[in-house]
């Protein structure tokens, strides 16, 4: 059986569901508004899993994802050095922190759909798509939860400037799937596991209950995203008879432009299939430079 985009059952779907999975991905990537983008992401994920539950698999197909996803006119995207820093202990600081998280979540929605549409030439079992569609759907929920928190604090996504460099990892790894897996889920999303408990504490101390609940959902579900990254990275290493740890170190040094910052959340990283000898040597070497 071939897994290269031709699975049985796809021809029986009705017209409304005739998009291939990579067309669904491009539909999300080319939608600018955050609430609209995430609504499409959720609807496409539901279609994918409904088909899977019915014993069918929507064809992967082929589509051309844009180099950069469509984004709303606001927030204004600034160089990270120009994004004003606010103290997290103040109400304005807490809004800025939630705004930054919303921006990360929106980027994450696009990153997970992009990995689906970008690398259709690499054959995978359907479970690869199950994982990234589920991750994209969860990021969509995270974005909306955080937007709801911003709105309950009389703000909104777009009210503040945001980090312009968030898509850089995707552009840098546009031709390198293993590099994408190493940098996006296994470095950037793993970093989220390190910093989220501290954020939860900030909102718990301030008594912002909806933000605590939203961040706890994010914290629980992000372990899965890192785990998907590690799983499929190891799958590709096995396919090509490569040493996962060595390849991971090479790829992170090639594509990641910053230090891996301790302290690491070793417990959650382990739960996600990231052993210490993957990340500690990189942190030590970079610290010595
Ligand atoms: Fe997320
Ligand atoms: Fe994630």
Ligand 1 midpoint to CA 222 (Å): 6
d(CA 243, CA 75): 42
pLDDT at 136 over 50: yes
Nearest bound ligand to the CA of residue 188: 2
Phi then psi dihedrals of residue 78, to 5 deg: -120, 155
Distance 195 CA to ligand 1 centre (A): 13
Q: Is 239 exposed, middle or buried (0-12, 13-18, 19+ CB in 10 A)?
A: exposed
**Residue 89 confidence (pLDDT) above 90:** no
Q: d(Cα 37, Cα 258) in Å, to the nearest integer?
A: 29
Q: Which pLDDT belongs to residue 189?
A: 97
| Position 1 pLDDT exceeds 70 | no
pLDDT of 254 reads: 96
82 CA → ligand 1 middle, Å: 24
Residue 251 is encoded by which pair of tokens?
Answer: 């790829």
Whole-number pLDDT of residue 135: 98
How many A from CA of 138 to the centre of ligand 2? 8
* Mean pLDDT score, 38-55: 97
> Which DSSP state fits 289?
-
CA of 1 to the centre of ligand 1 (A): 34
CA 13–ligand 2 middle distance (angstroms): 30
User: 12: CA distance to ligand 1 center in Å?
Assistant: 33
Query: 224 C-alpha vs ligand 2 centroid, how far in Å?
Result: 8
pLDDT of residue 8 exceeding 50: no
How many angstroms does the Cα of residue 28 sit away from the middle of ligand 2? 16
Shortest-distance ligand to the CA of residue 214: 1
pLDDT at 84: 81
pLDDT at 186 over 60: yes
Over residues 209-238, mean pLDDT: 98
Average pLDDT, the chain: 92
Look-up of token digits 């052993």:
275
Expressed in angstroms and rounded, the spacing between residue 289 Cα and the centre of ligand 1 is 31
pLDDT (mean) for 197-216: 97
pLDDT at res. 9: 44
The whole-angstrom separation of Cα 191 and Cα 176 is: 21
The pLDDT assigned to 177 comes to 98
pTM: 0.92
The rounded Å distance from CA 100 to ligand 1 centre is 12
255-288 residue pLDDT tens: 998 779 999 999 999 999 999 999 999 996 544 4
Rounded average pLDDT over 212-230: 98
- 227 Cα–ligand 2 center, Å: 10
pLDDT of residue 257: 83
What is the rounded distance in angstroms from the CA atom of residue 61 to the CA atom of residue 66?
A: 16
Least confident of 58-62, 85-89, 204-208, 229-233: 85-89
DSSP state of 90: S
**3-class SS at 54?**
coil
Q: Which has the minimum average pLDDT: 75-84, 104-113, 203-212, 263-272? A: 75-84
Give which of 63, 37, 217 is closest to 136, Cα–Cα: 37
Cα distance between residue 41 and residue 46, in whole Å: 9
Distance 235 CA to ligand 1 centre (A): 23
Measured in Å, residue 146 CA sits from the centre of ligand 1 at: 10
Between the CA of 219 and the centroid of ligand 1 the distance, in Å, is: 8
Task: Compute, in angstroms, the gap from residue 131 CA to the centroid of ligand 2.
Answer: 11
Q: How far is the CA of 139 from the centre of ligand 1 (A)?
A: 4
User: How would residue 246 be classed by pLDDT, with cut points 50, 70 and 90?
Assistant: very high
Per-residue model confidence (pLDDT) at position 284: 61
- Closest ligand to 228 CA? 2
What phi and psi values does residue 77 have, to the nearest 5 degrees? Answer: -100, 120
For 198-203, what is the mean pLDDT?
97
* pLDDT above 70 (res 200): yes
């Amino acid at each position: 059986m071939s897994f290269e985009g031709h699975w049985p059952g796809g021809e029986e779907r009705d017209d409304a569901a005739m998009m291939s999975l990579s067309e669904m991905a491009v539909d999300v990537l080319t939608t600018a508004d955050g609430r609209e983008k995430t609504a499409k992401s959720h609807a496409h994920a539901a279609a994918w899993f409904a088909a899977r539950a019915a014993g069918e698999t929507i064809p992967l197909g082929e589509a051309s994802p844009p180099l950069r996803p469509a984004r709303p006119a606001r927030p204004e995207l600034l160089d990270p050095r120009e994004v004003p820093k606010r103290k997290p202990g103040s109400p304005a600081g807490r809004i800025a922190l939630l705004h930054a998280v919303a921006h990360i979540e929106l980027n994450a929605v696009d990153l997970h759909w992009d990995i689906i549409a970008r690398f259709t030439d690499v054959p995978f079992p359907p479970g690869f798509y199950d994982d990234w569609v589920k991750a994209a759907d969860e990021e969509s929920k995270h974005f909306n939860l955080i937007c709801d928190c911003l709105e309950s604090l009389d703000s909104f996504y777009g009210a503040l400037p945001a980090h312009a460099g968030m898509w850089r990892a995707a552009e840098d790894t546009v031709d390198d799937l293993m590099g994408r897996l190493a940098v996006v889920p296994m470095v950037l999303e793993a970093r989220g596991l390190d910093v989220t408990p501290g954020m939860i504490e900030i909102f718990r101390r301030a008594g912002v209950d909806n933000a605590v609940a939203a961040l706890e959902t994010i914290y629980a579900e992000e372990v899965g995203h890192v785990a998907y990254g590690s799983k499929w990275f190891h799958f590709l290493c096995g396919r090509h008879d490569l040493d996962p740890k060595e390849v991971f170190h090479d790829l992170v040094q090639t594509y990641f432009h910053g230090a891996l910052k301790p302290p690491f959340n070793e417990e959650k990283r382990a739960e996600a299939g990231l052993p210490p000898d993957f990340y500690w040597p990189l942190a030590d070497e970079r610290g010595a430079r």
